[in-house]
Amino acid sequence: MDATPQPARCPPTLAQGHPVPARRARIIGLRGAVTALAVVLGPLLGGLLTDTFGRPAVFLVNLPLGAVVLLPTPDPRPIPPA
């Protein structure tokens, strides 16, 4: 992967991985909804967390969350024949 920001890369990557237009539109829409939700809730919850418990509390949330995200996930796409 190069230094291109992820938001610029994701829609073309999704389009290649999902050739069915209806499914592709649904997945790209879901990605947009999740991104919008994260943009709104991230600062709100981060501010609430730091105001309530202090700055170190952010690490107590992000460290386990980061560990879970790094767990391998199966690729749902079928393996193409050789």
pLDDT single digits (tens) 31-71:
889 889 989 998 998 899 999 999 988 888 888 888 888 78
- Identify whether the C-beta of residue 77 lies closer than 8 Å to the C-beta of residue 17: yes
Q: pTM of the full predicted structure?
A: 0.55
Query: What is the per-residue pLDDT for 52?
Result: 93
Dist. CA 10–CA 39, nearest whole Å: 17
- Identify whether the C-beta of residue 15 lies closer than 8 Å to the C-beta of residue 24: yes
